[in-house]
Structure 1
Amino acid sequence: MSRYEEFMGRIRGARTIGAPPPPSRWTWAADGLLALSLTVAVIAGNLNRSYVELRPDPAGSRTPVPGRLPSPPALPDLPGVPDGSRPVPAVEHVLPPVEAWEMAAAVLAALPLVLRRRHPLAVYWTVTVAAVVLHLGDAAADATRITFASGLVAAYSAAMYSPHRRSVAASLAAGVLLHAVFPLVPEVDGDLVPVLVLLPLALVSHGVHLWRQRERTLRAEQEAELRRAVEAERSRIARELHDVVTHNVSMMTIQAGAARTVLATSPEQAREAMLAVEAAGRTAMSELRHVMGLLAMAADGPDPAAGVALAPQPGLDRLTELTDRVRSSGVPVEVAVRGVPVELPAGVDLAAYRVVQEALTNAVKHADGARVSVTVEYGTDRLRVEVSDTGGRRLRTAEPGGGHGLLGLRERLAVYGGTLDAGSRPHGGYRVRAVIPWEVP
């Protein structure tokens, strides 16, 4: 984060809870109509350059007021006419003609409200500064009333729709100070008092309703995000358990079948096969304890994997051990390593190991009597893993759940920006090829 971004973050402050819903077409239409109405009202009010002020003059003073027309003479007391019924002197004010910059300020004092939900703070300051500029000249009283109403709408929008609480508080305080320094507050007649009382109550009620709506939306988004995280974790656990169990169980099944076949004729070979079954079972249990231990680390309460020695996740350094287990089942496997082996990131190393493990498992289950070759190539910026067999593969649909392992591998590799290509070879057999970059893009 740059110093400018850090500085702006401190100015803006913490974000409010939730985010306002995106404006709909009806909302845009309502804001546009409001902005246009207030703009027309400000312009029309400012074009009214003359108005009459009633000023009681009990002393009958005829002293002219600078810049105003002289007051008419006070009427003498008439017999039979009460004092309260006497005519009140009137003073007519005539303002100078409107200039172009005053018209521009009048437009900017209301028209930006069309964007009050999208850019609330910017609209608030635009409306406030335009009102101040307008009143630096000769603003009509009608224009002052409309610009004050426009400022109230802009302040309400900034308080309700801006995500930066500290900036909103500072801006509203500065706006109050500007209204106190400059003549931005209109004179209030007695008829407007109920409106000025009911309008803030209505705005507060609407604000509370909108705040609750945003909290409900935020809560729903958090629950949806939690459900997605749970589903993603379930998928990850399912992929990990599939990779751990499928390979070892397949080896155990094949070795047990071989032992049963040669048990009567060759007890020594049957014994070796059963030893291989035992080794595969131990390996499966060890990896299952490892996976369960990783899952239990984030759980509360007693650790079900306590006391279990958790070995590191398998990687390509255990490739020889993996291929030896496959060879012991009777499937010939050739391994070729090209390039200079380097220390891989843990995730990339595990993903490459799972690719070889899944491909070998599928070859054992589906490629009867085939030869399997494993190639690991260390490139300059990526790792290429390829496992191919020479044929004899049965249809994957013959096995329940076929193809789920490859789908899980694609998802696993996608995390690291890798790709997986699996399909039949032109001259028979099957090939699985994975390309994994060194780093996540």
Structure 2
Amino acid sequence: MWGSPSDRLLGVALLAACAAVGWLGAVLVRTRRRHRRTLEDRRWLLERERESAARAAVEDERARIARELHDIVSHNVALMVVQAGAAREVLLTMPDEASAALRAVEDAGRDTMTELRHLLGLLAPSQNGEDADGDRGGGTGLSPQPGLDRLGSLVDRIAFAGLPVDVRIAGEPRPLPGGVDVTAYRIVQEALTNALKHGDGGQAQVTVRYADRSLRVEVLNSGPSVLSGASSRPAATAEHDGGAGRGLLGLRERVAVYGGDLDTRRRLGGGYRVRARIPLDRL
């Protein structure tokens, strides 16, 4: 009935082979389905990661723009307010001094417009490659970001506004990475602006130290002693009182980008100290 033993063995072998092929086919189908699901999950995760990275980049850029706008506007507007007040005080009695103060207001306003035009030009360059004044690339319309090479003009403006500043350079000055150069300048600018706005007379001292592996910047300003019970609110008191302190918070973020640290505190002898260290061996 079943034929010879060899035929029966052949039939069993064919049935086993067919079963094996069917099982392998089912395994292959399941494997391909799992692979497709894995790919879909991976695409979904990558898409979420791209969206998260894009949101983080947008937030970082917004924070950077906010810092730049604060540094530009706060400093120059503070100078304009001080100079306008000085001009009003001496307008009738000392017209020459009033005229000089008003020229300082004009210069500060012009500097503000120049730096804002530069910032906005970087954010949204025109289609034809021209800036807001119509200057082509390489023209004078977009000035470079300020660095320590412009420290002299900054100190002159602050001193003319009524805060004498002594500048000390330690070590051998050398070219710095662009971001570090701008950060160092902004530290001095913010500290001196705060000293001018919140200080009660006195003077300031700026020290820039070029160490082997780091750049150190320190700004000291004098004022009433914290032991005397005076109620002055020198630079960055708002930050320690829990206020927003956007200026110094922005500086702290700038310095942290390069692995540095920023220390701000009152001085027992009076006034305030802003000290920053930016490592250069990591760049």
TM-score by structure 2 length?
0.83
Q: In the alignment, is residue 88 of structure 1 matched against residue 5 of structure 2?
A: yes
Q: 1:341-360 maps to which residues of 2 (within 5 A)?
A: 341-360=173-192
Residues in 2 aligned to 1:211 and 1:371: alpha-carbon distance in whole angstroms = 66
Count of residue pairs brought into register by the alignment: 264
Residues in 1 aligned to 2:182 and 2:94: alpha-carbon distance in whole angstroms = 39
1:161 corresponds to? none
1:397 corresponds to? 238
Post-superposition offset of 1:89: 6.8
Residues in 2 aligned to 1:268 and 1:401: alpha-carbon distance in whole angstroms = 40
1:215 corresponds to? 43
2:250 corresponds to? 408
Identity across aligned pairs (percent)? 49
Amino acid at match of 1:256: A
Q: 1:201-350 maps to which residues of 2 (within 5 A)?
A: 201-297=29-125, 305=132, 306-307=134-135, 309-350=141-182
Q: 1:28-67 maps to which residues of 2 (within 5 A)?
A: none
Alpha-carbon spacing, 1:376–1:200, altered in 2? closer, same or farther (3 Å): same
Residues in 2 aligned to 1:220 and 1:268: alpha-carbon distance in whole angstroms = 64
Query: Secondary structure at 1:376's aligned position in 2?
Result: strand
Amino acid at match of 1:222: R
1:335-386 deviation line (CA, Å, top 9, x unaligned): 2222222222222221111110010011011112121111122223322211
Post-superposition offset of 1:426: 2.4
Residues in 2 aligned to 1:192 and 1:291: alpha-carbon distance in whole angstroms = 71
Residues in 1 aligned to 2:127 and 2:46: alpha-carbon distance in whole angstroms = 27
Query: Secondary structure at 1:292's aligned position in 2?
Result: helix
Post-superposition offset of 1:401: 6.2
Query: Secondary structure at 1:348's aligned position in 2?
Result: helix
Contact 1:296–1:303 under 8 Å retained in 2? no
Q: Which has the higher contact order (CA 8 A, sep 6+)?
A: 2
TM-score by structure 1 length?
0.55
Q: Which runs of 5+ in 2 are unaligned?
A: 8-13, 225-231
Query: Secondary structure at 2:48's aligned position in 1?
Result: helix
Residues in 2 aligned to 1:401 and 1:261: alpha-carbon distance in whole angstroms = 32
Contact 2:83–2:161 under 8 Å retained in 1? yes
Amino acid at match of 2:162: G
Q: Which has the larger radius of gyration?
A: 1
Residues in 2 aligned to 1:318 and 1:310: alpha-carbon distance in whole angstroms = 16
1:220-274 deviation line (CA, Å, top 9, x unaligned): 1101100001111111111111111111110001111111222233222221111
Amino acid at match of 2:143: A
1:30 corresponds to? none
Query: Secondary structure at 2:5's aligned position in 1?
Result: coil
Post-superposition offset of 1:318: 1.1
Contact 1:296–1:304 under 8 Å retained in 2? no
2:229 corresponds to? none
